[in-house]
Amino acid sequence: VRAVVFENFQTFPELKEVDRPTPGPGEVLLKVAGSGACHSDVSIYREFTAGAPGAQNPPFVLGHEVSGWVEELGQGVDGVQVGDAYLVYGPIGCGRCAACSRGQDTYCENVASMPYLATGIGRDGGMAEYVRVPVRNLVPLGDADPVAAAPLSDAGLTPYHAIKLALPNLAGGGKFALVIGLGGLGQVAVQILTALTGATVIATDTKPEAMERAAANGAVTVPGGEGQVEAIRAITGGRGVDAAFDFVGATPTIRTAQASMARQGRLTVVGIAGGTAEWSFFANPYEATITNTYWGTIEDLHEVVAMYRAGQITPQVQRYSLDQALDAYRDLEAGKVAGRAVVVP
């Protein structure tokens, strides 16, 4: 069977023949329905080096945004039927610590002793015909379209988790949210903010098409460049935004988000472009918070799927066959993907 394999650090992945995986005890084999190409994969194969924070040693099959149909049950698995459609919760922690027991495998306390971080991050992922996953990581999709659901595993879950933690900042009338970077994650963030809050969503990207899409989803858009912070503040009547989400994470975008914040605002940096922030007492709006985030909980993912099934989240998907999977990554790197590239084997 074919799979997209990350072979070596700082090396573009390869499409190659691999053995068909066998589900172990407590696992199922999924026939992959869709596998999203996340920008984090680009960091994994372009930037990460051995031993760097978050880096997992190759080789492994990429793909941490996966949906599929149950093909085979491993030993001791019951309660799932062959043919049923599931979305995969990617993170895999020890399953025993306090974080894992609240469904937050991302912050597993025993991560240092785990051989991998997630399906598609250290362990073979879903850019393949088949993937094996622990039954504990399955979120049922019912009769919802599994292909368009694939991005929800990360492009849905990560913004959802970040937004949920910022809901206190957006509660009440007349609130403003800022979304920077309207790609796979950012477009879904606009939809989630619209569905969960009454806030005015201000959105920006370097690509005009991405801003048009966000506007169609209810956002007010502001182009980048000179005067951008003033334009954002003007929309808020000068007060600034109550919650900002930076899906780029470069120094200039963090700076823009920071300068756009209201007092007691909250900035969540989601993008991993490696930017840095400056902080000083009088330059910081009073009681404004800057934080980061990593993926989300399996409980969050159940909620994201519920929103998808209710029609509140509709990821924009650009389909690629498995033969074209490397083109999906080339297009992603070239900024040519609208929404999310999803490989459909």
Contacting residues toward ligand NAD, per CB under 6 A: 38-40, 43, 154, 158, 180-186, 204-207, 210, 224, 247-250, 252-253, 270-273, 293-295, 332, 335
Which of Zn ion, ligand NAD, none does residue 91 bind (CB under 5 to 8 Å by kind)?
A: none
Shortest distance, CB of residue 20 to ligand NAD, whole angstroms? 28
> Considering all CA atoms of the chain, what is the largest pairwise distance in Å, rounded to the nearest integer?
61
User: What is the binding site for Zn ion (CB under 5 A)?
Assistant: 38, 40, 154
In the complex with ligand NAD, the residue whose CB is nearer, 23 or 58, is 58
Which of ligand NAD, Zn ion, none does residue 43 bind (CB under 5 to 8 Å by kind)?
A: ligand NAD
Residue 302 is which amino acid? H
In the complex with Zn ion, the residue whose CB is nearer, 90 or 103, is 90
Rg of the chain's alpha carbons, rounded to an integer? Answer: 20
Contacts of 230 (CB under 8 A, 6+ apart): none
In the complex with ligand NAD, the residue whose CB is nearer, 139 or 273, is 273
In the complex with ligand NAD, the residue whose CB is nearer, 130 or 247, is 247
Give the end-to-end CA distance of the chain in Å, rounded to a whole number. 11
Which of Zn ion, ligand NAD, none does residue 149 bind (CB under 5 to 8 Å by kind)?
A: none
Nearest to 153 by CA among 296, 45, 321: 296
Shortest distance, CB of residue 264 to ligand NAD, whole angstroms? 23
Written as one string, the DSSP assignment of 122-181 is EE--SSBSEEEEEGGGEEE-TTS-HHHHGGGGTTTHHHHHHHHHHHHHH-SSS-EEEEE-
* Strand 340-344 versus strand 66-73 pairing type: unpaired
In the complex with ligand NAD, the residue whose CB is nearer, 58 or 90, is 90
Shortest distance, CB of residue 199 to ligand NAD, whole angstroms? 20
Shortest distance, CB of residue 258 to ligand NAD, whole angstroms? 14
In the complex with ligand NAD, the residue whose CB is nearer, 77 or 250, is 250
Angle between helices 298-309 and 157-170 (to 10 degrees): 90
Shortest distance, CB of residue 338 to ligand NAD, whole angstroms? 9
DSSP-assigned beta bridge partners for residue 119: 123
Which of Zn ion, ligand NAD, none does residue 295 bind (CB under 5 to 8 Å by kind)?
A: ligand NAD
Residue 37 is which amino acid? A
